[in-house]
Amino acid sequence: MIAKVEKKAEKKMKEVVSGVAQELKTIRTGRARPSLVENIKADNYGTMTPLNQMANITAPEPDLLVIEPWDKNVIENIERAILTSDLGLTPNSDGEVIRINIPSLTEERRKEMVDLVHEKAEEARISIRNIRREANEELEELEDKSKISEDNLHRGLDNIQELTDDYIEKINEHVEKKEEEIMTV
């Protein structure tokens, strides 16, 4: 029973870490990367669709993104979606492809981006701690119902704490890597 609670908690923690890793990919670093825009959703014949499902996105130069829609009829929708995103990018279209110049970040903007990374990371850490709390409550409930012994309860609580520490460390590693990317000029 303890293993079941631990596995469930670990699965949820993995999802949180993978979610924060995906979110951090979308934060601008001053260098053109397809991941910057690939999850922006644009209208594709009435359905909001991520750009990576509507177009080929490449970064041929460190400061340029090129978006080549498979269907040229949705170029205006893609441009509009990029303009309304909170990335502050301006797309240029020639009717065939969309080019986005990625301006280099000022020192002040880099610090704002790092603060944003820390906010996202703290939200993820809170989620991990909430998962720990739920798992601990489940274990305590099992002990109250005499389904596990007090020794097993403490062993399970220790294991859940180890999982929590491991996954918070993984979040911290993602944050350090992203912070380094942002601050590199």
Long-range contacts of 103-107 (CB under 8 A, 24+ apart): 103/30, 103/63, 104/30, 104/63, 104/185, 105/28, 105/29, 105/30, 105/182
Q: What's the pLDDT score for residue 170?
A: 96
Q: What's the pLDDT score for residue 87?
A: 75
**pLDDT at residue 6 above 90?**
yes
Top CATH class of 34-99 equals alpha beta
> Do 2-25+106-183 and 34-99 come out as alike in CATH topology?
no
Q: What's the pLDDT score for residue 185?
A: 62
| Residue 14, C-beta contacts closer than 8 angstroms, at least 6 positions apart | 167
Closest CA relative to residue 121, chosen from 27, 6, 31: 27
Residue with the two structure tokens 């502050």: 88
**pLDDT at residue 33 above 90?**
no
- Bigger pLDDT: 22 vs 105: 22
**pLDDT at residue 39 above 90?**
no
pLDDT in tens, 109-147: 888 888 989 999 999 999 999 999 999 999 999 989 888
Distance CA 30, CA 32 (A): 7
Which CATH superfamily hosts domain 2-25+106-183? Ribosome-recycling factor (1.10.132.20)
Q: How confident is the model at residue 106 (pLDDT cuts 50, 70, 90)?
A: confident
Domain boundaries, the chain: 2-25+106-183, 34-99
pLDDT in tens, 80-101: 998 888 777 888 988 889 999 8
pLDDT in tens, 47-70: 999 988 999 999 888 888 999 999
Q: How confident is the model at residue 24 (pLDDT cuts 50, 70, 90)?
A: confident
